[in-house]
């Protein structure tokens, strides 16, 4: 087949090439677009204005999500430039919380396929089907099996909204090229009967694959990726906790991968902790931290904090003794039956007690919520934190907002405005006694784009915990004193590209230090420094 340059509607219907009304006179001649566009030429800035107007006119965020999804499929560069310039307004739509609603309704709002679907029927054919993906230089894969989508549970193939949303943030937030990104849904069925009964549901309508069949399918996927896209980072996303840990433990030393819920979230939280102690004045190594929820997110955080404690001079046991877990059955203690392996190191040799009793006894300075259950930071618990601490720190991290442990307003009200607060999804500004506070968003979106960029830039062969520690320190280093004075513990999201670049440099430096980088350090090649060379790799969607 001869490869002709696309013209006319082949250009307008190609989201990578399409500039819509912004094609210049010369381009209209070159691509045979005369007559196919209105006479008045726009530029990208006026297209952004127009897109914003159309989007803001919609009555519901889910309609805005659908609008943006369609724009991504129509004009990629406009979509990403719009995201970059208006990340504060748009991230809550393409990502949490609205992406949660989009996943719940995915089969009903579906218009065009995006991403890659793998089913149990593809066993033995993975190579063949992955070769159907049109891009050949894939560098970033986000894969889920849809079993624990945000705090919403098993959404089966509807969970595809998450890899798509995350990868949009890799591109907007860290400049990973859209064609290097591959969203993957391992559609192994769903145990959500409501979905299986829904005539419009688009996933595999059978119970989830489990056991050896499940692990063999994942194994075939991972090894085929090594074959076809050997430089790709695999990000495991929103797997049920036992699978999340099992996959991470199986693959972390074998392939280039990480689990964002476990490791990315942990780095984001550690950065928040570093900032919070600049406000409260506590010693890092003296911190007492209590987690509500003992799943992948919370134990991932504890593992990284434990490592940071040990790096800062605490012994293994001392570090463990400053971290407590509470779940729906109270304090996690050794005598409890059937504790999952990932929580065992943190189980205490103590009698059973409730959340509030545990706060009273251990006097934590920081409470971290990762339960996925709304309202679990009760008024009594938060008020107790305020009685014990001059500046109580409370991170209510569950997503979407409807599943958060408490709202920002509650945290400020119940602590007399003294709280150092972060929530997983964005919060409205909070008023307390005439003062306005802007609660920070503690979301792993601060971390994963930069980690991905750094990993891709130096072609590291593995992603290590040390890289997440470096990412956390780099993120915390971006918080300015005046932000801390307002109680804000993360840098402005609007600066996400600058933040991602700084994190990418820290991650790549660590990869060079650990002899994991496979690309020569730019200093050896061109005398330019790492930051400049990574910056040059970043996708710029401006026309
Ligand atoms: P998970 O299901 O593995 O863990 C949930 C934990 O909460 C379990 O230990 C469970 O026993 C406990 N729990 C349930 N109900 C409880 C209750 N009433 N009181 C106390 N504990 C209770 O899930 P996960 O992967 O750890 O994720 C948990 C939440 O964290 C989700 O809502 C997710 O969206 C959120 N999360 C946020 C971020 C972020 O960047 N902000 C990142 C990852 C996960």
**Residue 4 pLDDT class (50, 70, 90 cuts):** confident
Please determine, looking at this structure, whether the domain spanning 263-443 carries the CATH number 3.40.50.720: yes
Taking the C-alpha atoms of residue 451 and residue 264, their distance in angstroms, rounded to an integer, is 8
What is the mean pLDDT of the segment spanning 350-361? 98
- Report whether pLDDT(1) > 60: no
The CATH 3.40.50.10380 portion of the chain extends over 96-255, 446-535
- For 99-141, the three-class secondary structure string (H helix, E strand, C coil) is HHHHHHCHHHHCCCCCCEEECHHHCCCHHHHHCCCCCCCCCEE
**Catalytic residue from among 31, 80, 166, 510:** 166
Ligand 1 atom 41: residue of nearest CA: 424
Instruction: State residue 524's pLDDT score.
Output: 60
Where exactly does CATH 1.20.1370.30 map onto the chain? 9-91
User: What is the pLDDT averaged over residues 86-108?
Assistant: 96
Percent of the chain with pLDDT over 90: 93
154 touches ligand 1 (CB under 6 Å):
no
Q: Which helix (H) or strand (E) holds 396?
A: strand 393-396
Residue 297 alpha carbon to ligand 1 centre in Å: 6
- Which mutation among 371, 397, 405 tests ligand 1's pocket best, with the greatest number of atoms within 8 A of CB? 371
Domain with CATH 3.40.50.720 in the chain: 263-443
Give the model confidence (pLDDT) of 505-528 as tens digits: 999 999 999 999 999 988 765 546
pLDDT at 5: 87
Task: For 306-323, write each residue's pLDDT tens digit.
Answer: 999 999 999 999 999 999
**CB 372 less than 6 A from any atom of ligand 1:** yes
Query: What is the C-alpha separation between 320 and 389, in angstroms, rounded?
Result: 21
Asked whether 424 lines ligand 1 (CB < 6 A), one says yes
Mean pLDDT over each residue of the chain, to the nearest integer: 96
| pLDDT at 265 exceeding the cut of 50 | yes
Please report the pLDDT score of residue 2 as a whole number.
47
Instruction: List, for residues 396-449, the tens digit of each pLDDT value.
Output: 999 889 999 999 999 999 999 999 999 998 888 899 999 898 888 999 999 999
Active site residue 166: yes
Dihedral sign, CA of 206, 211, 212, 214? positive
pLDDT attached to residue 522: 82
CATH architecture, domain 446-535: 3-Layer(aba) Sandwich (3.40)
The answer to whether the CB of 399 is under 6 A from ligand 1 is yes
CATH number for 96-255 (one of 3.30.1370.160, 3.30.2320.80, 3.40.50.10380, 3.50.50.60): it is 3.40.50.10380
Phi, psi of 516 (to 5 degrees): -105, -15
Residue 279 has pLDDT above 60, yes or no: yes
| Closest protein CA for atom 6 of ligand 1 | 293
Topology of domain 9-91, per CATH? Answer: Hemocyanin, N-terminal domain (1.20.1370)
In 3-state terms, what secondary structure has residue 315? Answer: coil
Check residue 440 and give its pLDDT.
86
Is the CB–ligand 1 distance for residue 509 below 6 Å? no
Q: How far is the CA of 372 from the centre of ligand 1 (A)?
A: 4
- The answer to whether 205 is a known catalytic residue is no
Q: What is the CA radius of gyration of the chain?
A: 24
pLDDT-derived band at 485 (thresholds 50, 70, 90) equals confident
Ligand 1 closest atom vs CA 293: 7
Q: What does the pLDDT average to over 323-327?
A: 98
Q: How far is the CA of 187 from the centre of ligand 1 (A)?
A: 23
Residues of the chain above pLDDT 70, percent: 99
Res 3: pLDDT: 61
User: pTM of the predicted model, to two decimals?
Assistant: 0.95
Residues 6+ apart with CB under 8 A from 90: 68, 82, 83
Question: Measuring CA to CA, how many Å separate 370 from each of 244, 423, 496?
Answer: 15, 10, 24
Question: Quick one: average pLDDT of 227-235?
Answer: 98
Report the alpha-carbon distance of residue 336 to residue 212 in Å, rounded: 29
Hey, what are 476's tokens? 């915390």
Q: What average pLDDT does this structure show over 52-67? A: 98
CA distance linking residue 123 with residue 53, whole number of Å: 46
């Amino acid at each position: 087949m001869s490869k002709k340059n696309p013209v006319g509607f082949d250009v307008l219907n190609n989201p990578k090439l399409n500039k819509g009304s912004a094609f210049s006179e010369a381009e209209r001649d070159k691509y045979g677009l005369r007559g196919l566009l209105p006479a008045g030429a726009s530029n990208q800035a006026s297209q952004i204005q127009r897109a914003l107007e159309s989007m803001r006119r919609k009555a519901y965020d889910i309609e805005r999500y659908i609008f943006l999804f369609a724009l991504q499929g129509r004009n990629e560069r406009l979509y990403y430039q719009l995201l970059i310039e208006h990340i504060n307004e748009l991230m809550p739509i393409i990502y949490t919380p609205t992406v949660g609603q989009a996943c719940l309704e995915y089969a009903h709002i579906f218009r065009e396929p995006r991403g890659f679907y793998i089913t149990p029927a593809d066993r033995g054919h993975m190579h063949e089907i992955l070769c159907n993906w049109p891009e050949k230089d894939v560098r970033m894969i986000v894969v889920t099996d849809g079993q624990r989508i945000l705090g919403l549970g098993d959404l089966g193939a509807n969970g595809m909204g998450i890899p798509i949303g995350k990868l949009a943030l890799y591109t907007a937030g860290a400049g990973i090229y859209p064609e290097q990104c591959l969203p993957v849904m391992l559609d192994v069925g769903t145990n959500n009967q409501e979905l299986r009964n829904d005539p419009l549901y688009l996933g595999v309508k059978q119970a989830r694959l489990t056991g050896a069949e499940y692990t063999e399918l994942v194994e075939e996927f991972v090894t085929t990726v090594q074959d076809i896209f050997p430089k790709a980072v695999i990000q495991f996303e929103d797997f049920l906790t036992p699978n999340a840990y099992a996959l991470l433990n199986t693959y972390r030393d074998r392939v280039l991968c990480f689990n964002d819920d476990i490791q990315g979230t942990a780095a984001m939280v550690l950065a928040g902790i570093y900032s919070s102690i600049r406000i409260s004045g506590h010693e890092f190594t003296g911190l007492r931290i209590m987690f509500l929820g003992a799943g992948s997110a919370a134990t991932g955080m504890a593992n990284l904090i434990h490592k940071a404690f040990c790096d800062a001079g605490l012994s293994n046991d001392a570090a463990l003794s400053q971290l407590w877990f509470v779940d729906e059955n109270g304090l996690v203690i050794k005598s409890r039956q059937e504790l999952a392996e990932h929580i065992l190191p943190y189980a205490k040799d103590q009698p059973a007690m409730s959340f509030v009793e545990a706060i009273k006894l251990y006097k934590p300075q920081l409470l971290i919520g990762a339960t996925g259950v709304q309202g679990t930071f009760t008024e009594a618990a938060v008020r107790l934190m305020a009685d014990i601490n001059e500046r109580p720190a409370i991170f209510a991290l569950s997503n979407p907002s409807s599943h958060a442990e408490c709202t920002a307003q509650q945290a400020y009200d119940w602590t007399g405005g003294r709280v150092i607060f972060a929530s997983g999804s964005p919060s409205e500004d909070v008023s307390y006694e005439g003062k306005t506070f802007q609660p920070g968003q503690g979301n792993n979106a601060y971390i994963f784009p930069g980690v991905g960029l750094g990993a891709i830039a130096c072609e590291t062969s593995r992603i290590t915990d040390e890289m997440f520690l470096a990412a956390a320190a780099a993120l915390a280093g971006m918080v300015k004193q005046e932000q801390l004075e307002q109680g804000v513990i993360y840098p402005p999201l609007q600066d996400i590209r600058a933040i991602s670049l700084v994190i990418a440099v820290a991650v790549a430096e660590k990869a060079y230090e650990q002899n994991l980088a496979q690309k020569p350090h730019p200093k050896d090649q061109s005398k330019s420094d790492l930051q400049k060379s990574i910056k040059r790799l970043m996708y710029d969607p401006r026309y």
